[in-house]
Amino acid sequence: MIKPAPRGTDAETIRAEILEKLAYSIGKDPAVAKRHDWLNATILALRDRVIDRWMESTKRAYQAKAKRVYYLSLEFLIGRLLRDAMNNLELTGAFTEALQALNVDIDLVAALEPDAALGNGGLGRLAACFMESMASLDIPAYGYGIRYDHGLFRQKISDGWQVELPENWLENGNPWEFGRREAAYEIGFGGHVVLGPETPQGQQRRWKPAEKLVASALDTPIVGWRGKRVNTLRLWTARAMDPIRLEAFNSGDYAAALAESNKAEIITRVLYPADSTPAGQELRLRQEYFFTSASLQDIIRRHMQHYDDVRSLADKAAIQLNDTHPAVAVAELMRLLTDNHALAWEEAWEITRAAIGYTNHTLLPEALESWPVHLFEHVLPRHMQIVYQINARLIADAQRRQDCTPDFLASVSLIDEHNGRRVRMGQLAYAGSHSVNGVSALHTSLMKKSVFRDLNALYPGRINNKTNGITPRRWLLGANPKLAALLEESIGHPVMDDAERLVEARRFAADPAFQQRFAAIKRHNKEELANLVAARLGVSLDPAALFDVQVKRIHEYKRQLLNILETIALYNSMRAHPDRPWVPRVKIFAGKAAASYAQAKLIIKLINDVAQVVNNDADIRGLLKVVFIPNYNVSLAEVIVPAADLSEQISTAGMEASGTGNMKFALNGALTIGTLDGANVEIMEHVGRENIVIFGLTAEEVEAKRRDGYDPGHAIAASPDLEGVLDALASGVFSPGDADRYRPLIDSLRHGDWFMVAADFDAYAAAQREVASLWRRGQDWTEKTILNTVNMGWFSSDRTIRDYAREIWNVPVA
């Protein structure tokens, strides 16, 4: 391979290259070029530098015969890549200067880049952080996922209601991706299984799918810090074996002519198709198997190309399953090894378990995924056989235990016999992995006691903890460059190579001059967010007010409902006692609700209805504002997170696996109000109990209440404020002409309250008054927020990836 000459990094060289790309790749003269033309020319000029490092990184991995990490995830929420790549190549200044010389504002140009619609929430953003950290730590890795045409959806708010629209992020192409025609694999569905000949390895079986399609790869480079390594994010798109049936087309049956093409392409249209119908369930299963099978075929093809012996796969490939969506990998890898490579069952099982690791992200039963046996068998008949074989051996292991009982067998079985016979994908992932990790200390502990209690007893030692992390390059240097510069100036050393050095700035927490500069940066960031809100929503915000922020996926366990109910109580108090010295406060919400999640969508409507009333009430003199910012994504988070004063991390204790938003906000100088849930526990340990506001029931107390027969009516009766809020909702104060609009929310609290909103309401309200009191003591507040920032270095995804590399993947790490 001929190595290209090093490219210049000075502004003049970059300016010339941008002009060259504009002319010869975009076909535009600078005099008529539009902002989107400058965007594409800038990306292409930067991309050339990325490609140089990408090819060099790939060559190094091959020459070293390095073990690779393969990270399978249904989501990769990578956001915009231009700024990220410029920062990581340390070329932001040079590109900014080059564009200035061309009378182009880089901020206006960069804002045109669409967010890649490849995920929804924390799962996908974690995967993106992990990919960046693996490249930064010089770990050869591939990410595998799906190239969604429209992502989850683009959220619009119409009359306060969420409306789902297609996210057309690809309508103008994607300059970051590269098609790989050589990486195309047949994916089968349905059909039947036939017996083959007897061999020394056992009875051979062959799957004869009734339907086949092709998975084709598109690669995106992921740049590590300082360009140390560029890894590959490989995303799959689906197409039919034959794109059109010409006979049907020529006979006038155009729908039939394109039926196979449409059926194939629908697999990669959207993320998380609604599974409330049988067709939706089947599409989800097809989607998960499609990308998992293509990824495993690609991994084995690459391995055989270089090592020519599938038996060494686990020595050269660490396959990490990011949550339960790719759990079918266990059965698929067994199929490929036994059916395609003729390995004996026991040998294939040993390789499968040695190669695969499983990260669990939830204790919610619905998120662990299970499929009706009849559906699984219909779509994947050979895999159903393999699941039964795995289960037979698992049951035999269980029966050898002296303490084995029918309940124990039912608990560990891969088949749930009590809910219509379903294949438990979490159980399958556990059985087929050598490592099963949680994502916070609390989550891992609860995992051992709840969903995997009996499997942990049967196969002890597999469960371990790897607390999540975030990349400081994106969430400090990229999102908050002024703060990053202040910290590095104060410490006297770079911190992007080792975020744990942030702690060296602890000595400045009480320094008045440092506090003043820290507060000025926060004020600047709040002004930026206020400008965005004014432009998008037409609502004026006071940057001097306390910005109280809860932005995340809308779900009952995350308790946006608790937040907005307490907001109503605060509003009621402000109206009843206008003479009190109220702290000006802005309540900021953002996040998407699943399209079929009626209760979550009703919570969004309530937030917007409350905003309509509060924001137009002159009696409270602007002391309280409520805003819901639509279409939450990475780019929006990069504006909101640095501007937050208060970070709402208020999930029902025991239900949030980790959270990473809590880490981003604390790193950027927000105080956390939260429950002892997920990584909040470890954040408290690092920043100090006095620098975080903790309230509410613990996970053990939540479990005890549910077990002992909790009556939310008592909690509501004991809280006049909450009773008043519910009465206001029921009377139509926030829904004129439709008093019953919020009846489902009220009923959920009065008759069940599974998520402990009523149980925690008074404690949450008291915690909010504690926040208000602290806010009035400006220097104390600033000192505490500084201590949050400087103590968050441990939560870098670099630390998390080092732990994975050493303790699960067995790969060297920089």
Yes or no: say if 67 and 811 are a contact pair by the CB < 8 Å rule. Answer: yes
- Of 790, 785, 778, 533, the C-alpha closest to 639 is 533
Query: CA-based diameter of the chain, in Å?
Result: 88
Give the residue numbers annotated as catalytic, written as ranges.
361, 552-553, 558, 660, 664
User: Could you tell me where the beta strands, DSSP code E, fall in 376-525?
Assistant: 415-416, 422-424, 435-438, 463-465
Q: From the CA atom positions of the chain, what is the Rg in Å?
A: 27
Residue 207: strand pairing partners: 193
Helices 512-537 & 481-491, crossing angle to 10 degrees?
A: 170
* Chain Cα centroid distance, residue 229: 23
Pairing state between β 230-240 and 415-416 = unpaired
Q: What tokens appear for 62 in the block?
A: 């091959």
Q: The tokens of 311 are what? A: 């038996």
Q: Which token pair is 682?
A: 């470890």
405: number of CA atoms within 13 Å, CB side? 5
Left (φ > 0), alpha (ψ -120 to 50) or beta: where does 164 sit? beta
CB 68 within 8 A of CB 141: yes
Residues 319 and 356: beta-carbon distance below 8 Å = yes
Bridge partner residues of 170 (DSSP): none
- Distance CA(68)–CA(140), nearest Å, equals 5
Residue 595, SS3 per DSSP: coil
The phi and psi torsions of 525 (rounded to 5 degrees) equal -65, -35
Task: State the Cα–Cα distance between residues 527 and 531, nearest whole angstrom.
Answer: 6
Distance CA 521, CA 483 (A): 7
Q: Where does residue 747 rank: exposed (0-12), middle (13-18), buried (19+ CB within 10 A)?
A: exposed
DSSP for 180-222 reads EEEEEEEEEES-EEEEEEEETTEEEEEEE-SEEEEEEEEEEEE
- Measured between alpha carbons, how far is residue 814 from residues 229, 355, 469, 500, 802 in Å? 11, 22, 17, 15, 9
